[in-house]
Homo-oligomer: A and B are copies of this chain.
Amino acid sequence: MLAAHGFGGLTLRAVAAELGATTGLLTHYFPAKRDLVAHALELLEQRSASRPRPAAGVGLSGVRAAMLGVLPLTAEAIDTNRIWVSSWDVALADPALSGDHARRYAQSRDKLRDLIAAAQQLGELPPGDPARIAAGAQSFVLGLVVQALFDPTAFPSHRQVELLDDYLTALASPGQVKEPGR
């Protein structure tokens, strides 16, 4: 329901109806709607975190698995990502929620950074600041999610995987480390 109507069309009554309760229950646990939204995001976060990781592995394949785990490749992942993208509207309008999101993505980058560092030690990725590489990789995945959600025809599952592998291939090939021409 959140996946279909987004956070913009979220009402207390709709939430209450969906879980077979009333607005009285909601206001009892959440003083205001903002708190309900914040809770929904936390819930979504931990649901995303406990997604069935597709055999993580180590090294570059671990990085690949982590990035694959984000993409909207399944119906469930599509719903989750729709809710996630939808939340950016309400989050941008509320500094507190915005800060939560910043923290979440920073944490996600850190996990990716560790995986990248591990891949570097295995020699599967060229040297370079792993945090910086992680920031780039997460940008890529996030943007791919957005495009895939809006244009599922142009970005079917195999295309998304294809593009991800393109990216990883480019990452793995050692480019010159120094400043490119401006």
- Please give the residue numbers on chain A whose beta carbons come within 8 Å of chain B beta carbons, in ascending order: 4-9, 61, 82, 85-93, 98, 101-102, 105-106, 132-133, 135-136, 138-147, 149-151, 153-155, 159, 162-163, 165-176, 179-182
Contacts and interface: CB of A to CB of B under 8 A. Distances in A.
20 contacts: A6-B89, A82-B92, A86-B88, A88-B146, A89-B90, A102-B153, A135-B159, A136-B166, A136-B167, A139-B140, A139-B163, A141-B143, A142-B142, A142-B143, A143-B144, A165-B182, A169-B175, A170-B173, A173-B173, A173-B176
Contacts of A86: 88-89, 92-93
Nearest 3 CB-CB pairings of A with B: A143-B143, A142-B143, A89-B89
Contact of A146 (B4, B142, B149): B142
Q: Secondary structure at chain A's binding surface: helix, strand, loop or mixed? A: helix
A5 B138 contact: no
A150 B89 contact: no
A8 B5 CA distance: 12
B146 A146 contact: yes
Nearest to A87: B89
Nearest to A148: B139
B174 A8 contact: no
A89 B142 CA distance: 15
A88 B90 contact: no
B135 A92 contact: no
Contact of A138 (B8, B61, B85, B143): B143
A154 B181 CA distance: 24
Contacts of A87: 89
A148 to B, nearest CB: 9
